Amino acid sequence: MKAILFADRLGTELQPLTQKTCVALLPIAAKPLIEYTLDCLLTTNIQQVIIVISAHADLVEHCLGNGERWGMQFDYVLSRGQEEPMTVLTRLGDTLTDSEYLLIRGDLLRSFQLPEFLAQASLQPSSVIATINGNHAGVCLLHRQTFSTLHSPLSTIEEGLSTLAMKGNISFLDSLRNYHQANLDVAAERYANLVVPGQVYHDNLRVGRRSKVREGNMGLVGAYCQVHPQAFLLDKVVLCNEVVVDHHAILQNTVVLPNSYIGPGIELRNAIVWGNLLIRIDTGAIVQVIDNFLLANLPTETLSKPLSSLVNRGLGLLSFLLSLPLWPLAAVIAYFQNPDAPLRTVKLRGNLIWRDSLGIAHPQDFITHEWATNFILLRHLPKLLAVISGQLRMVGVSPETPAEAATRIAAWETVRDSAPVGLIGPSQLTIPANAPTEERLLAEAYYARTRHLGTDIVWLLRGMAACFKING
């Protein structure tokens, strides 16, 4: 038996948290939500899992990898986001050859005995869904012969479909308030059978590895946290990984998400904090705090990011110097092919960002030029200046105008945004100019999910080989 794990929920009801990551990766008690479902699968004999992903797909794959950590094999399938499970199964088609599959959602929180459910459900002649406290548990043992008769086996209890009531707890995490409460409930061990990270210091304190917190504090503290000896964690506090709490800060009934700094003297009650984002659960207020001495994002940049930027700028400068003899030729050809406007001005959206008055990051638009010629090598010579300035990379997804970027609103269409914008890439080299936009976006979404240094080098070499290709 294989499992099909759905992690493609868009989570609009959990914004602004899901602007940073997807629901499946949101931390619950200092652990990604989807890992609780994977822990549940570990109690069975299932070793092959197909994971359906959409928004922030690259983050999911980076976090989970190939499944080796769980002794399983993971394969990934891209969804447009929150598609009906039967739509995804139909798309998989002939690849589904087993007689039965376990369908399970990885973007809600549940605790129950999965082996017990599978043992009882396997005795039924038809597909069976699990219920907890009368609610659909997001779990279904699906017989392949009944694929065509089902509509939404993971969202609604269909008439005539067998159900199996299981003992346990469930939270659909369908609001910020419920997400906040789920964190506190897991930390308080109100969900049986969940593997909660950290070591129990006493009845009211659980601490993760390499975290520093004095005795007398209460709550759950994740890994690599630093809590000042004069800070106070009162009842019902969850600190996720890599959180710093400064002196005289007071926290109660509060969940702090990873890489957050809590400044000196700050009092937080009934809140969710993520970096400089403050969400008041009691009032519903959402505030971006711009004073970094109060709340802040801890630095998460790694050495590889600035080094990669430096290498790309260096490649851009080298390419620019080598191309200098071609500029007069480009000017002459462009003039003869388009005498009215041999050098065109274009506005594109690049890799740099700017921050508004609230400190919110936005992609930066920039002005560049291109020669009005159908010789690709000559046409894009001016864009090498954008590579030198850091607005573009040598390899990445295709540059878009602000208007084109504004039309991409579906979650699957934004997967490409996790990759840099570059001169050379899969859509620039393999997708015809007159191809449908969806074809380009799918190619770029796949590139964004699978890119690494080796693939970028391959695309760079392919781009060099295609430099003199004429594109009408």
| pLDDT tens track for 256-285 | 999 999 999 999 999 999 999 999 999 999
Judged by average pLDDT, the poorest of 40-49, 110-119, 214-223, 356-365 is 356-365
Q: Does the pLDDT at position 149 exceed 70?
A: no
Task: For residues 130 and 81, give the distance between their C-alpha atoms in angstroms, rounded to a whole number.
Answer: 23
Confidence of residue 158 (pLDDT cuts 50, 70, 90): low
pLDDT computed for residue 278 by the predictor: 96
Instruction: Give yes or no for residue 157 having a pLDDT over 80.
Output: no
Q: Give the pLDDT confidence score for residue 301 in this predicted structure.
A: 42
232-236, 287-291, 311-315: lowest mean pLDDT where?
287-291
Res. 303: pLDDT tops 50: no
Fold of 2-171: Spore Coat Polysaccharide Biosynthesis Protein SpsA; Chain A (3.90.550)
Confidence at residue 177, expressed as pLDDT on a 0 to 100 scale: 97
Residue 107, pLDDT score: 93
**pLDDT cut 70: percent of the chain above it:** 92
Higher pLDDT, 88 or 323: 323
Report residue 234's pLDDT band, with 50, 70 and 90 as the boundaries.
very high
Summarised one tens digit per residue, pLDDT across range 65-100 is 999 999 999 999 988 887 888 788 878 877 777 778
Residue 75 CB-half CA count within 13 A = 11
Task: Kindly report, residue by residue over 2-25, the tens digit of the pLDDT.
Answer: 999 999 998 999 999 998 899 999
Higher pLDDT, 311 or 469: 311
For every residue of 38-83, DSSP letters joined together read: HHHHHTSS--EEEEEEBTBHHHHHHHHTTSGGGT-EEEEEE-SSS-
User: Do 223 and 248 contact (CB within 8 A), yes or no?
Assistant: no
Cα distance between residue 427 and residue 421, in whole Å: 11
pLDDT of 146 reads 61
pLDDT of residue 305: 56
- Cα distances (Å, whole numbers) of residue 47 to 138, 412, 430: 20, 27, 36
How far apart are the C-alpha atoms of 264 and 451, rounded to whole Å?
A: 41
Across the range 290-309, mean pLDDT stands at 68
Q: What is the mean pLDDT of the chain?
A: 88
- What pLDDT was estimated at residue 400? 93
pLDDT, average across residues 352-377: 78
More confident residue, 358 or 56: 56
The predicted pLDDT at position 116 comes to: 95
Q: What is the pLDDT of residues 434-455, one digit of tens each?
A: 888 888 988 888 888 788 888 8
- Cβ atoms of 412 and 80 closer than 8 Å: yes
Instruction: Kindly report, residue by residue over 27-41, the tens digit of the pLDDT.
Output: 999 999 999 999 999
Residue that the structure tokens 């004069």 belong to: 230
Q: Which of 91, 94, 54 is nearest to 76 (CA)?
A: 54
The SS3 assignment for 436 reads coil
Query: Over 50: is that where the pLDDT of 472 sits?
Result: no
Which of the four pLDDT bands, split at 50, 70 and 90, describes residue 153? Answer: low
Write down the domain spans for the chain: 2-171, 197-297, 304-465
The string of DSSP codes covering 68-128 is GGGT-EEEEEE-SSS--HHHHHHHHGGG--SSEEEEEESSSEEE--HHHHHHHHTTSSS-E
